[in-house]
């Protein structure tokens, strides 16, 4: 599995907003500059996050974006699932209902499904709050 630029940027944006603890709205331009993401691309990502209820948006003067919930309420898995077309490690688990033409004879399919479960469990266990904690990085080296 390769996480797209959109997924990586969405995670960075959510983390940047999580670091603002006062509940204020952060202007789009400020986020773009801080994260070095083009305004247009960032806007398309924030539309996805806003529609999903992950961020609150306020238009006009003093407007911008902020997290809709506490950083502990967002997992990396949730964020990536919004932006990625698939989280599968290989294309065969993506077949309809996880069944492809070779599924009956494929001896590696259980391996790929197991890998996907492990990756999903890991990503769902890491929150934005975890990523804000320097100890998280030390424990995962």
Residues 53-76 pLDDT 10s: 999 999 988 889 999 999 999 999
The CA distance from 116 to 110, in Å, is 10
Q: How confident is the model at residue 89 (pLDDT cuts 50, 70, 90)?
A: confident
**CATH class, range 5-139:** mainly alpha
Q: Which helix (H) or strand (E) holds 141?
A: none
Please state the domain extents for the chain.
Answer: 5-139
Q: How confident is the model at residue 92 (pLDDT cuts 50, 70, 90)?
A: low
Rounded mean pLDDT of 7-35? 94
What pLDDT score was predicted for residue 23?
85
Nearest to 111 by CA among 92, 97, 95: 92
């Amino acid at each position: 599995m390769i996480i797209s630029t959109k997924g990586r940027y969405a995670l960075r944006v959510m983390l940047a907003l999580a670091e603002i603890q006062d509940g204020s709205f952060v202007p789009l331009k400020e986020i773009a500059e801080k994260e070095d993401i083009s305004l247009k691309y960032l806007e398309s990502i924030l539309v996805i996050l806003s529609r999903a209820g992950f961020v609150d948006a306020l238009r006009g003067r003093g407007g911008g974006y902020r997290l809709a919930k506490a950083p502990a309420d967002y997992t990396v898995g949730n964020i990536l699932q919004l932006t990625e077309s698939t989280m599968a490690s290989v294309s065969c688990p993506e077949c309809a209902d996880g069944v492809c033409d070779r599924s009956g004879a494929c001896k590696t399919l259980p391996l790929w499904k197991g890998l996907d479960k492990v990756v999903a469990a890991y990503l769902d266990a890491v929150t934005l709050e975890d990523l804000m904690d320097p100890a998280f990085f030390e424990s995962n080296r």
